[in-house]
Amino acid sequence: MHIAIASGKGGTGKTTVAVALARVMGSCVLVDCDVEAPNAHLFLNPDVQNTQDAYVMIPEVDDGKCTGCGECSRVCQFNALAVLGKSVLVFSELCHGCGGCVLACEPKAITEGGRLIGTMQWGKAGNLDFYDAKLRIGEPMSPPLIKALKRQAECLEAKNTILDCPPGTTCPMVEAVGGADYCILVTEPTPFGLHDLNMAYQAVQQMDIPAGVILNRAGMGDDCIQEYCKANGIPILLEIPHSREIAEGYAAGKDILSSMPSLEDGFKKVINTISEGLNNG
């Protein structure tokens, strides 16, 4: 069972929920896919056992073989190649590493090189396997690193995986959520929370992934989230109260179950509800 934790905006409590779910599930894999700002490790303090660099393919051109035909530039959908006479300019930061230019080059003047995009690490936190990654400073594209990180985590062939996804509804979120069995959308009872929940829900609908909502900081605002979920038939799996106790624990680096143990049964119910729904679906 692969469960993605997502939201339309940052700061709603995705990592809080992801860590809590991983704790109540027991033996599972937690993957922090927010490679631009990973922070799940702050609450788990994993024993890091392996670190690995991640690369994306970029074309390397042999000017001696290149005829300047321009076919590589024509097939590139991202304008990462420009042909000037018999010279080919490679804009590596625009390259998505698809390899189309290599296949299109009849003189075999293009080979696959590599560009460092970040580092991945794996560790243990109790009975949890933990993965996260850090995007290289200045690197504009995070989806290739997220894809590589998920591929590494899949090598364990674990029964249960929690994916802590990046905020928003753009390519990084889509890459992280893709392939999940279920998506939990974390939101808060504010106008911004409602607006971005709507965008996130539309995104997971397009990916045909069943979704439910966890309402964080419940009681802080109005009933806009409950009304939206009722109107759209979205289950509210859990409401986490707006609590100073939780906020103080978070500031001290404590996970939510350490700050408010009474929520453990609620998170267990979330897991059971999702599991039963997937088994009956």
pTM over 0.85: yes
* Cα separation, 210 vs 184, whole angstroms: 9
In this structure, the number of other CB atoms found within 10 A of the CB of residue 268 comes to 13
Beta bridge partners of 110: 61
The residue ranges of every structural domain in the chain are 2-54+119-280, 56-116
* Cα separation, 272 vs 125, whole angstroms: 23
Secondary structure, 3-state, 69-138? CCHHHHHCCCCCEEEECCEEEECCCCCCCCCHHHHHCCCCCEEEEEEEEEEEEEEEECCEEEEEEEECCC
CATH superfamily of 2-54+119-280: P-loop containing nucleotide triphosphate hydrolases (3.40.50.300)
Please tell me if the domain spanning 2-54+119-280 has the same topology as the one spanning 56-116: no
Per-residue burial over 143-153, b if 16 or more Cβ lie within 10 Å, else e, is bbbbbbbbebb
At residue 61, the 3 state secondary structure works out as: strand
What's the CATH architecture for 56-116?
A: 2-Layer Sandwich (3.30)
Measured at the CA of 273, the angle between CA 272 and CA 278, to 5 degrees, comes to: 100
**Residue 139 phi, psi dihedral angles, 5° rounding:** -75, 125
Each of the 281 residues of the chain gets a pLDDT tens digit; together they read: 999 999 988 899 999 999 999 999 988 999 999 999 999 999 999 999 999 999 999 999 999 999 999 999 999 999 999 999 889 999 998 999 999 999 999 999 999 999 999 999 999 999 999 999 999 999 999 999 999 999 999 998 899 999 999 999 999 999 999 999 999 999 999 999 999 999 999 999 999 999 999 999 999 888 999 999 999 999 999 999 999 999 999 999 999 999 999 999 999 999 999 999 998 86
**Residue 216 phi, psi dihedral angles, 5° rounding:** -95, 155
CB 240 within 8 A of CB 13: yes
